[in-house]
Structure 1
Amino acid sequence: MTIRYSAPMPAELRHFMRAGQHPARSVPCPHCGVAAHKPCKLRTSGRLLTEPHPQRVSDWAQATACCPQCQVTPETPCHEDGRARTTVHARRYQEAEDTAA
């Protein structure tokens, strides 16, 4: 009998090796309340969704990328004319996707 020992995969590598998942799944979903790395689901029926909710994608972009339009750092919400926006700018989505790739 052969005994195989395998070292646990570091969390940094595991995160990037999840094939076919949207990178926004790395943060919890504020809309449906699922934990990080779990698929979003419908609150009424519990059916799993293939794509994350838009608010989850917005939270992921805010957590990972600087906004080139309003010049804010990660974790800081985008603003427009001195007022905080509820979503991030489109250029911040692009920056987050470029960072994840």
Structure 2
Amino acid sequence: MTLHSGAPMPDSLRHYMRASQHPARSVPCSHCGAHAHRPCTTRSKRHLLPAPHPQRVSDWAQTTACCPACQVTPEVPCHDDGRQRATVHARRYQEAEGVAA
């Protein structure tokens, strides 16, 4: 259980309350610095964005799924012929979405 504002809430209930959010919000955003389970913001922190930054989605896919294209395990960055990529392969996004569903 997690305590929030003094009231206990089971983790299973918390999961269903967040079901409408993009699963990438479960990791912090390396672009804008938003904490896990918080929406992305503009760099000035004045406006909340309706969708997560592409880098946050890439980080989420990297932490949750294996990549079928380059055969790496979760937490390991994708690569092209030994050279690390800035983002993950498109097939890894599909794999991560399948794991989240």
Q: TM-score, normalised by structure 2?
A: 0.86
Query: Given the superposition, is the C-alpha separation of residues 65 and 86 from structure 1 closer, same or farther in structure 2, using an over 3 Å criterion?
Result: same
Separation of aligned partners in 2, 1:16 and 1:93: 22
Counterpart Cα distance in 1 of 2:22 and 2:97? 10
Structure 2 unaligned spans of 5+: 1-6
Q: Displacement, 1:46?
A: 1.7
The one-letter code matched in structure 1 to 2:14 is: R
Task: Report the identity percentage.
Answer: 71
Alpha-carbon distance in 1 for matches of 2:16, 2:84:
31
The alignment of Structure 1 onto Structure 2 pairs a total of residues equal to 95
Structure index of larger Rg: 1
- What is the Cα deviation at residue 19 of structure 1? 3.1
Q: Which is richer in strand?
A: 2
Provide the residue aligned with 2:10 in structure 1: 9
1:20 positional shift: 1.6
1:10-65 alpha-carbon deviations (Å, 9 max, x no partner): 2x652354132000000000000010000000013520001000000000000000
Q: For 1:82, give the aligned amino acid.
A: G
Distance in 1 of aligned mates of 2:99 and 2:80:
23
- Gaps of at least 5 residues in structure 1 are 1-5
Is 1:24 aligned to residue 24 of structure 2? yes
Q: Which residue of 1 aligns with 2:84?
A: 84
Give the 3-state SS of the residue equivalent to 1:57 in structure 2. helix
